[in-house]
A and B are shown apart, each in its own frame.
Chain A
Amino acid sequence: MSNAPATTAAPPPVEKIRIKVDGRDVEVPKLLPNWQGKLEPTTMLQAVQIAGGEVPHYCYHPKLPVAGNCRMCLIEFGTPMMGPDRKPVLNPDGTPKIARSVLPYEPQTPRGAIACATPISPGMELYPSSPATKQMREAVLESLLINHPLDCPICDQAGECKLQEYSVEHGQANSRFVEPKVHKPKAVDLGPRIVLDDERCILCTRCIRFTRDIAGDDALGIVNRGSYNTIAAWKDGAFDNNYTLNTVDICPVGALTSKDFRFKMRVWFLKETKSVCSSCATGCNITIGSREGTIYRYEPRDNEAVNGPWMCDAGRLNYRWVARADRIHDVYVRGVKSTWETANREIHALLGRAPEGSVAIVAGARQTTEELYLLKKLATRLGALTDSIAREGEPDRLLVSADRNPNSNGARLTGIAFTEMGIQLPKIAEGIAAGTIKTLIVFGEDVTKHGLGADLLARLETLIVSDILPNATTAAAHFLLPGCAHAEKRGTFVNTKGRVQKFMKAVEPPGDARAEWEVLHEWVHQVTGQNGFSTIEGLFNQMAREVPAFAGLEWSKLGDTGVTITI
């Protein structure tokens, strides 16, 4: 992303400002990155965060332009008093006297400032926990709730709603509002993936700013005036770009909901698993929400080096296939349902006696780096030709990569594919046609669509296929092995910029399906006689020691957001 952190150039000395937060001395940088990463005067809100506190806020979002419209972040503050000589006025004990900010015509009443948009100045004192601040928060919440329908029991946001959270923390239990509430449109069809409940909206404009300034699609606005203000698109259904679902994430209340997730599951039941999107080579970091073995949603997970807080709609919604009923559940040997034991025994024997060069391997760049590494080990022992298959699409200016494989670089770095993917496929086809290649191993691709048609496959003595969903190649397999979706196993992908990112297992695979790396680990052991690691940590570390591009890496050092290597 454009706002990726500055690279390794030595950071210039940071100018600091001394202020006080709730009576404690703190030093904060004078300038901090704004939503676009440009340095701007540090705001009160950022300063309080640095001091370890939190200022409740709705409209402020670190990756969106500041709007300052919700007033939730109001805090009481003071500045050093200046004498007529422009010198600070001192207390008897020599400390600077602080003038608390008050209303000019009503000096008993504190005048707050919106912390999200007010820069700090030297000697300033912020009082984010003072009684006056608390009162301001109460008042703001009370006015936000005036027309709010309070339909939390049927609201998808309940459990992750800022309005709920702040009301509990900073609000008051009872409403003093006796007038009828203003009613606004419910269940507005804003776009193909978004439903809007205008009554729940607090008009923070995060959605408007996101789609205008981040997605580049100025599709939303506020219509009408005063208490009738309503978020709207020009036409029902008009809010349609590949990033619309991010507005559901950033909407602080339950106004914007995902048609896909709406009314499906209460969020507090969801198990959260750190993972990576597998729909293109960008590798957006995600959190998988699942319950009892079923995936309910993908959400973006913040990673400054990759996707920031966003992800595309296509990637987010590409999880349904994991639960498809026609998944390959069982091991088949020559069309007959079998077991891993039988299949593996035969495969080990077969590969063990295969003459040099009689085997070829096609491994999809959707397999994990560890799996590709193990396949490469096998290929080296067998003198096998190897390749992957490129998967291309239209890129966009924000996140989506033209490369729709999540691990093309993994395939390249492990030596399974050349820079130009698929360049070996014609040679493999020739080998099969000439009868020199007798065994083909395919992992996760339908090779019949890429020059190795059913007629060629029919000439093979042995076709070993591992896949997730049925296709023409799996139909021709002598050995058919059920594989795992990436959400069902652990591993790493290397994204288009060389970011090595690990992902965790969210759900169990169906039936007899097993993580491919576990199976391959056994094959390598049996065929090459080498001992490998039977844990993903050990396997990754072994790969890092053997493959130069990964030198120095360790599974544990990848952290939650990965490490960038030179590619």
Chain B
Amino acid sequence: MSFSVPPTLEAELDELATHYPQKRSASLMFLHAFQEHFGHVPREAVEWTARKLGLQPINVYELVTFYPMFRQQPVGKTHIKVCRTLSCALAGSAELREHFCQKLGLDSHKHTPQTTADGKFTVEFVECLASCGTAPVVMVNDDLLEKVTVTEADRVLASGKK
């Protein structure tokens, strides 16, 4: 995929940079914008951001790798984030993730996000989603699912397969 920043996005980012007394502070917002646009943050976007904000690519790359929320690879259409922090762990989130992985034929032993070969699903563990009272909690793309059961998990998979 050749990388290009559409003029509307560039204009939006230029405007964004003006919100900060120091240009470099806009880095995170740039990365969010790129992830929204491309679905992940490609290396070219890191270089582009660095150039735009007067930084070195490594400075921006540090940010990208620090926050697991930033993805360096494209993810599946249905992105399943299972909370692994305490309440959810006690309420069975490990079993829930195992279930997703098994159903999708993914390796649950790897600690990084797993994507199916057909590009339809990505499953990953994330830290606390701030809904501990309704554990276990899963985010499917931008939707929060609470008190998730195996039945509900299967429903997510079924609708994602369509």
Contacts and interface: CB of A to CB of B under 8 A. Distances in A.
Contact of B56 (A223, A224, A234): A234
B62 interface: yes
A218 interface: yes
Contacts of A337: none
A221 B61 contact: yes
A135 to B, nearest CB: 30
Contacts of B59: 218, 221
A180 to B, nearest CB: 13
Contacts of B66: 223-225
B65 A218 contact: no
Contacts of A222: 62
A218 B59 CA distance: 8
A232 interface: yes
Given A218-B56, A219-B56, A234 B61 contact: yes
A234 B65 contact: no
A232 B56 CA distance: 13
Nearest to B68: A225
Contacts, number: 29
B49 to A, nearest CB: 12
B58 interface: yes
A251 interface: no
Nearest to A220: B58
B57 interface: yes
Interface string A197-223: 000000000000000000000111111
A223 B57 contact: no
Nearest to B56: A218
Interface string A87-100: 00000000000000
B61 to A, nearest CB: 6
Nearest to B50: A234
A224 B112 CA distance: 12
Nearest to A223: B65
Contacts of A234: 56-58, 61
A1 B62 CA distance: 31
A232 B57 CA distance: 11
Interface string A218-257: 1111111100000011100010000000000000000000
A234 B46 CA distance: 10
Interface of B: 55-59, 61-62, 65-66, 68
12 contacts: A218-B59, A219-B56, A220-B58, A221-B62, A222-B62, A223-B66, A224-B65, A225-B65, A225-B66, A225-B68, A233-B58, A238-B58
Given A219-B58, A232-B58, A238-B58, 6 more contacts: A218-B58, A221-B58, A223-B62, A223-B65, A224-B65, A225-B68
